[in-house]
Amino acid sequence: MKFAVIVFPGSNCDIDMFHAIKDELGAEAEYVWHDTESLDEFDGILLPGGFSYGDYLRSGAIARFSNVMKEVVKAAEAGKPILGVCNGFQVLLEAGLLPGAMRRNETLKFICRPVQLKVENRETMFTSSYQEQEEIMIPIAHGEGNYYCDEQTLAQLKENKQIVFTYSGTNPNGSLEDIAGIVNKKGNVLGMMPHPERAVDELLGGADGLKLFQSIVKNWREAHVINA
Catalytic machinery residues: 86, 195, 197
Which runs of consecutive H residues, i.e. helices, occur in the chain? 14-19, 67-77, 87-94, 151-159, 210-227
Under DSSP, is residue 6 helix (H, G, I), strand (E, B) or coil? strand
Q: Are 87 and 184 in contact (CB under 8 A)?
A: no
Q: Are 72 and 84 in contact (CB under 8 A)?
A: no
**DSSP secondary structure letter of residue 54:** G
Distance CA 149, CA 184 (A): 14
Beta strand residue intervals within the chain, DSSP E: 2-7, 28-33, 44-47, 82-85, 101-103, 111-119, 135-142, 146-148, 163-167, 179-183, 189-192
Under DSSP, is residue 137 helix (H, G, I), strand (E, B) or coil? strand
The one-letter amino acid code at 42 reads: F
